[in-house]
């Protein structure tokens, strides 16, 4: 039986020709042949470019746009993004190498993340990137490394603000947190920085992730700029950069709507004016991961078996939570919800009832879709998980049961 099913907003990015999903102008089954094995992640470079362009069109020109590499550190993708954004933020020595290899100028790379090792800090100082200091220990280590290498390291203080991004999927600031330096400790550390021969850049304030509420994002951005201005008044140092993080979410689950950027852009106009009046040398930067890349990628796995167990249909596929932990619901979801999933070579039909998509890992946690309306899939069909361009392989326990890693292609 066939009828037309309303497509999740998330799927509208990829055209369907006949019954078949197209990625970068290539029909999905042909792409699977080209990649050579399933499962794989595919990212669409045209969609990446379109997302950055659409965002820039709605943000004031004075706001710098940085890409947070940890959302998707595939080297070819980082290289592509490096040509589109104003800066890259990295969170490990490995990501730092990727960012430098991509040709991004060191002056436009920042290195954040709690628990940077001395070796990684030395790599960052030697490369000349801005180290976002997350603790007093990191400050002392960077000062020692600077002396040893005979350079004045570029540093910023990552502030754990005294507020959080409301209604965000992940709270990264406010209250007691392992990220950043508590705002109330910052004045003391600023005095220490001023007494050292370090090249102070400014502040990094990151209050949360995955928010679909523009008003909450505007509030967090406003408070971040206010906090940056207040902290700058505490030290005789010039603030050259105020990085107010991101937090822009993408819709994953039924009923979620895309974020409306226009009001955020309008509010940023006002914040830029306030910043220019208080700290004329400071550049305002946004740092986004998921929002820039999440919707441009899909995960593809092949149906190995179709089983009916006590009336319920199970499509057993060759991929699962070891490649895509977030889609399995095991990366911080309290109540498991389905990512948008479809049968990529049967896009227009849906069978009555529901089916579950499960992986090969011998654990009931290995689920990619649970009791979802799907087309009647056969063995060999290609299951597609949308919204998979961010926090896919880099946030998954690859190597589970010795299964091979998913390949990645940029189309």
Ligand X SMILES: *Cc1c(COP(=O)(O)O)cnc(C)c1O
Contact set with ligand X (CB under 6 A): 68, 70-71, 89, 112, 206, 209-210, 245-246, 287-291, 390
d(CA 94, CA 72): 13
In the complex, least distance from residue 362 CB atom to ligand X, rounded to whole angstroms: 31
Q: Which residue carries 């971040």 as its tokens?
A: 224
DSSP of 235-302: SS----EEE----B----STT------HHHHHHHHHHHHHHHHH-TTPEEEEEESHHHHGGGEEEEEE
* Phi and psi torsions of 352, nearest 5°: -65, 150
- The residue number with the shortest CB distance to ligand X is 289
Say if residues 303 and 262 touch (Cβ distance below 8 Å): no
In the complex, least distance from residue 42 CB atom to ligand X, rounded to whole angstroms: 19
Pairing outcome for strands 241-243 and 199-205: parallel
Give 29 or 49: the residue with its C-beta nearer to ligand X. Answer: 49
Give 203 or 291: the residue with its C-beta nearer to ligand X. Answer: 291
In the complex, least distance from residue 170 CB atom to ligand X, rounded to whole angstroms: 7
Give 245 or 320: the residue with its C-beta nearer to ligand X. Answer: 245
Q: Which of 146, 106, 149, 158 is nearest to 128 (CA)?
A: 106
In the complex, least distance from residue 235 CB atom to ligand X, rounded to whole angstroms: 22
* Phi and psi torsions of 296, nearest 5°: -90, 5
Pairing outcome for strands 109-111 and 87-90: parallel
In the complex, least distance from residue 162 CB atom to ligand X, rounded to whole angstroms: 18
H or E element at residue 171: strand 170-171
DSSP E strand boundaries for 340-395: 341-343, 355-358, 367-372, 382-385
DSSP E strand boundaries for 46-91: 63-68, 87-90
* Contacts of 34 by beta carbon, 8 Å cutoff, 6+ apart: 26, 409
d(CA 234, CA 44): 46
Give 115 or 353: the residue with its C-beta nearer to ligand X. Answer: 115
Structure tokens at 410: 């940029």
Give 14 or 179: the residue with its C-beta nearer to ligand X. Answer: 179
Q: What is the DSSP letter of 157?
A: E
In the complex, least distance from residue 114 CB atom to ligand X, rounded to whole angstroms: 9
Give 244 or 300: the residue with its C-beta nearer to ligand X. Answer: 244
Give 71 or 190: the residue with its C-beta nearer to ligand X. Answer: 71
Give 260 or 312: the residue with its C-beta nearer to ligand X. Answer: 260
d(CA 396, CA 359): 14
Give 113 or 360: the residue with its C-beta nearer to ligand X. Answer: 113
How many residues would you count in the chain? 411
Give 290 or 322: the residue with its C-beta nearer to ligand X. Answer: 290
In the complex, least distance from residue 224 CB atom to ligand X, rounded to whole angstroms: 12
In the complex, least distance from residue 122 CB atom to ligand X, rounded to whole angstroms: 21
In the complex, least distance from residue 287 CB atom to ligand X, rounded to whole angstroms: 4
In the complex, least distance from residue 395 CB atom to ligand X, rounded to whole angstroms: 10
């Amino acid at each position: 039986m066939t009828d037309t099913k309303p497509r999740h907003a998330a799927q509208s990015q990829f055209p369907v020709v006949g019954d078949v999903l197209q990625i970068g102008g290539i029909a999905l089954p042909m792409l699977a042949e080209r990649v050579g094995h399933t499962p794989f992640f595919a990212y669409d470079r045209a969609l990446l470019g379109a997302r950055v362009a659409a965002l820039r069109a709605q943000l004031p020109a004075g706001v710098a746009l940085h890409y947070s590499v940890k959302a998707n550190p595939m080297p070819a993708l980082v290289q592509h993004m490096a040509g589109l954004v104003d800066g890259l933020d990295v969170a490990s020595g490995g990501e730092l190498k990727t960012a430098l290899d991509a040709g991004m100028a060191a002056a436009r790379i920042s290195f954040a993340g709690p628990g940077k090792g001395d070796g990684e800090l030395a790599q960052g100082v030697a490369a000349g990137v801005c180290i976002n200091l997350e603790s007093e220990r990191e400050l002392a280590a960077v000062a020692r490394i600077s002396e040893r290498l005979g350079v004045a390291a570029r540093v910023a203080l990552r502030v754990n603000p005294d507020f959080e991004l409301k209604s965000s999927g992940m709270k990264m600031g406010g209250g007691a947190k392992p990220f950043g330096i508590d705002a109330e400790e910052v004045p003391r550390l600023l005095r220490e920085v001023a007494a050292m021969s370090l090249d102070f850049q400014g502040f990094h304030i990151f209050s949360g992730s995955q928010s679909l509420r523009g008003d909450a994002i505007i509030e967090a951005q406003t408070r971040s700029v206010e906090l940056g201005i207040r902290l700058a008044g505490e030290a005789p140092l010039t603030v050259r950069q105020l990085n107010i993080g991101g937090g822009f979410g993408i819709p994953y689950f039924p009923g979620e709507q895309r974020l409306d950027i226009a009001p955020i852009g309008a509010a940023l106009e006002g914040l830029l004016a306030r910043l220019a009046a208080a700290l004329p040398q400071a550049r305002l930067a946004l740092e986004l991961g998921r929002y820039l890349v999440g919707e441009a990628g899909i995960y593809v796995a092949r149906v190995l078996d179709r089983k009916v167990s006590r009336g319920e249909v199970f499509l057993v596929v060759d991929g699962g939570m070891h490649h895509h932990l977030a889609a399995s619901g095991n990366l911080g979801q309290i109540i498991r919800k389905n990512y948008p999933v479809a049968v990529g070579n049967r896009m227009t039909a849906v069978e009555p009832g529901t089916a579950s998509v499960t992986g090969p890992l011998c654990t009931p946690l290995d689920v990619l879709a649970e009791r979802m309306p799907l087309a009647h899939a056969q063995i060999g069909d290609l299951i597609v998980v949308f919204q998979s361009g961010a926090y896919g392989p880099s946030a998954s326990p690859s190597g589970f049961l010795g299964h091979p890693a998913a390949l990645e292609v940029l189309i």
